[in-house]
């Protein structure tokens, strides 16, 4: 294994420990914890055995393993952006409903004075 | 679709005027809102001003000139403010609800014309149009953008109107209860048209005059803003 592999492994294992401790302490839901743990596990496999990604890439008709990882990363990021955007919209909607409720309550109490 | 009868001077019965709520969203309008509210209140006592989290004295001014001053704690956009005003008016027992711009663009005289077909029972919703008669002097740049908006509505919502982005609208209580604006910012105008169209309630356009002043032009939407609004509306329609 090269120095880079050791470093990458260290980072990924650190992330796995953080994820598991977050799940145990209830900061993350069980579903989130398991999903992220799986991601780190896959990353560990790819780091320890770099030829594996190359094999998978060639099967899919992509030349190199690094390209496969890049494409996957782009797709995952785009999905992530969309999910955050949808969540942001829901949050804005909830904020509006809250602000409306407060406005009408406040107006009601000042009118009755 | 158009109401050609000039019922402005006919005058509405007192009980109609008193049970009509004029809903006015306002964002940083402290300079001119007092005059607009006072003008309207001479004919229609129930004016609801929704201060949409202004950073100027809009709320204090509004509270001085109408008993119905409502304040959004943070700015949520014109669509959100309109819905707050409609909810407030319905809770106070409004029989008719009129939405009216707070920047002095609309004329108080036109409110009666907007209400008349609803009071007569001809329809439940009236939408103001500055294009039905030639009385409004519309700046060339605005005319072009508004025409594009009409075309956009015809294609996307499949509704044919002459003026799709006019803040002057009137609703019966029944119609107002069916309206629920969920788009907070400016794209609410298109959403409102969709809801009016799908409510199944009869609606029509009524000619109104829109006065363009330096102030209203500066506060209004630019053509570039219009593209942003169109994008927001499409996103709101396709995303959950």
Q: Which two tokens stand for residue A61?
A: 């008709």
* Statement: residue A38 has pLDDT above 90: yes
- pLDDT at B2 > cutoff 80: no
Half-sphere exposure of B72 (CA within 13 A, CB side): 30
In order of A87, B39, B161, the CA distances from B82 in angstroms are: 24, 20, 21
Q: Which domain holds residue B22?
A: 14-137+165-181+201-219
Kindly report, residue by residue over A48-107, the tens digit of the pLDDT. Answer: 988 888 888 888 888 888 888 899 999 999 999 999 999 999 999 999 999 999 999 999
Put simply, the answer to whether A103 touches B84 (Cβ < 8 Å) is yes
Q: Which residues of A touch B (CB under 8 A)?
A: 85-86, 89, 92-93, 95-96, 99-100, 102-104, 106-107, 111
Instruction: Give yes or no for B238 touching A (CB within 8 A).
Output: no
Q: What percent of chain B has a predicted confidence (pLDDT) above 70?
A: 95
If you count DSSP H runs as helices and E runs as strands, how many of each does chain B have, helices first?
A: 10, 7
Domains of chain B: total: 1
Question: Over the stretch B67-88, which tens digit does the pLDDT of each residue have?
Answer: 999 999 999 999 999 999 999 9
pLDDT attached to residue B1: 46
CB B50 within 8 A of CB B72: yes
Cβ atoms B72, B60 nearer than 8 A: no
Query: Measured between CA atoms, how close is A100 to chain B, in angstroms?
Result: 6
Taking the CB of residue B161, how many other CB atoms lie within 10 A of it? 22
Alpha-carbon distance A40 to nearest alpha carbon in chain B (angstroms)? 30
DSSP-based three-state secondary structure for B205: strand
Domain membership of residue B73 (yes or no) is yes
Structural domain includes residue B236: no
* pLDDT value for A112: 54
User: What is the β-pairing status of strands B20-26 and B203-207?
Assistant: unpaired
The answer as to whether B9 is a domain residue is no
Q: CA B14, B18, B19, B21: dihedral to nearest 10 degrees?
A: 130
DSSP label of B98: E
Q: How far apart are CA A71 and CA A73, in angstroms?
A: 5
- Of B171, B156, B155, give the one whose Cα is nearest residue B236: B156
DSSP, collapsed to helix, strand or coil, labels residue B30 as coil
Taking the CA atoms of B36, B41, B47 and B49 in sequence, report the sign of the dihedral they define.
Answer: positive
Q: Count Cβ atoms below 10 Å from residue A64 Cβ, excluding itself.
A: 12
pLDDT (tens digit per residue) in B139-155: 888 888 888 888 888 88
**Are B42 and B36 in contact, with CB atoms under 8 Å apart?**
no
Query: Hey, of B72, B84, B87, B183, which one would you mutate to test binding to chain A, going by the most A CBs within 10 A of its CB?
Result: B84
Closest Cβ opposite residue A99 in set B67, B68, B73: B73
- SS3 call for B49: strand
Mean pLDDT value across residues B50-61: 96
Cα distance between residue B62 and residue B70, in whole Å: 9
Q: Is residue B57 part of a domain?
A: yes
CATH of the domain at B64: 3.90.550.10
Q: A100: which chain B residues are within 8 Å (Cβ-Cβ)?
A: 72, 76, 80, 83-84, 87
pLDDT at B240: 67
The answer to whether position B196 is within a domain reads no
Run of H or E including B97: strand B96-99
């Amino acid at each position: 294994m090269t120095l880079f592999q050791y470093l990458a492994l260290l980072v990924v294992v650190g992330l796995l420990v953080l994820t598991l401790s977050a799940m145990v302490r209830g900061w993350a839901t069980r579903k989130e914890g398991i999903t992220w743990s799986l991601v780190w596990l896959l990353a560990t496999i790819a780091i320890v055995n770099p030829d594996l990604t190359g094999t998978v890439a060639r099967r899919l008709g992509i030349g190199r393993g690094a390209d496969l990882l890049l494409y996957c990363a782009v797709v995952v990021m785009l999905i992530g952006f969309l999910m955050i955007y949808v969540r942001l919209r829901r949050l804005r909607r909830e904020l509006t409903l809250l602000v409306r409720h407060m406005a009408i309550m406040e107006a009601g109490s000042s009118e009755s004075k | 679709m158009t109401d050609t009868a000039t019922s402005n001077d006919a005058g509405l019965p007192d009980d109609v005027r008193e049970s009509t709520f004029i809903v006015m969203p306002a964002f940083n309008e402290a300079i001119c809102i007092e005059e607009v509210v006072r003008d309207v209140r001479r004919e229609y006592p129930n004016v609801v001003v929704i201060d949409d989290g202004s950073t100027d004295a809009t709320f204090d001014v509004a509270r001085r000139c109408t008993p119905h001053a409502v304040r959004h704690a943070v700015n949520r956009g014109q669509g959100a403010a309109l819905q707050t005003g409609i909810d407030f008016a319905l809770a106070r027992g409004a029989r008719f609800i009129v939405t009216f711009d707070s920047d002095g663009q609309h004329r108080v005289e036109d409110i009666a014309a907007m209400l008349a077909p609803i009071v007569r029972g001809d329809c439940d919703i009236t939408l103001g149009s500055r294009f039905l008669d030639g009385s409004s002097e519309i700046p060339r740049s605005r005319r072009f953008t508004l025409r594009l908006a009409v075309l956009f509505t015809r294609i996307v919502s499949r509704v044919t109107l002459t003026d799709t982005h006019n803040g002057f609208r009137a609703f019966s209580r029944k119609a107002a209860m069916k309206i629920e604006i969920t788009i907070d910012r400016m794209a609410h105008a298109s959403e409102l048209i969709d809801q009016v169209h799908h409510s199944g309630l009869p609606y029509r356009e009524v000619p109104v005059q829109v006065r363009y002043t330096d102030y209203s032009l500066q506060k209004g939407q630019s053509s570039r803003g219009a593209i942003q609004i169109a994008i927001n509306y499409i996103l709101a329609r396709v995303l959950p």
